[in-house]
Amino acid sequence: MVRPSSSAYQLLFCLLVLVFTPIPSHSADPDPLQDFCVADLNATLSVNGYPCKPKSQVTSEDFFFDGLSNEANTSNVFGIGIASADVQTFPGLNTLGLSMIRVDLALGGLNPPHSHPRATESGVVIKGKLLVGFVTTDDIFYSKVLTAGQMFVIPRGLVHFQLNIGQEKALFLVAFNSQLPGVAVVPTLFATTPPIPNQVLTKAFQVGDDVVNLIKSKFGA
């Protein structure tokens, strides 16, 4: 009887590792199983996404979108305007694993610290001068000043921001590898419904009730 060599055992082990090790997806959303699945936003049933509109009801208009063509309103406390092209505004994106937004920043405007739990973010500056930064889970801060034509990438789930530090309005476009990336904005900790107890916020930020109440008042809370 011929006994398998040690190299044969090593080969078998490698094959088993390949078979039983999960292969990570290259996108945040599951891969589509058909050419397209235009979202039926009026459907009464939704399971981790939107069901498909019947093909007989799909038209060319489902695959085109002009919602990013106009400057967004920046008349708010942060001086930011956002126009979204995600599955909820552009149903043709359903199951395709991507979306985009247009971000306009007034002079000194800020896209406040926030994160996207379901997507990595890649952006390009179209106009203006931006300070872009993010913080890792090791509390390391990475940042750079960018001008028109330069790009940035924010790894999925990390807190980040964009600040207009130029002498004019700024504009940048962002792409996500999710049809609905979601957003968690850090300052809204002071404007939740129902409100987070003051004792949590005072302990977390090491400030007094007066400071927490002042910040809450800025957001109408």
| Binding site as annotated, residues for Mn(2+) | 114, 116, 121, 160
Binding site feature residues for oxalate? 111, 116, 121
Helix (H) or strand (E) holding 18: helix 6-20
Identify residue 187 by its one-letter amino acid code.
P
Binding site membership: which residues?
A: 111, 114, 116, 121, 160
Of how many residues is the chain composed? 221
Strands 151-154 and 121-127: antiparallel
**Residue 68 region by backbone torsions, left for phi larger than 0, else alpha for psi between -120 and 50, else beta:** alpha
β-bridge partners, 162: 111, 132
Give the strand pairing for 129-135 and 184-185: unpaired
Closest CA to 83 of 109, 65, 107, 98: 65
Q: Exposed (0-12), middle (13-18) or buried (19+): which is 2, by Cβ within 10 Å?
A: exposed
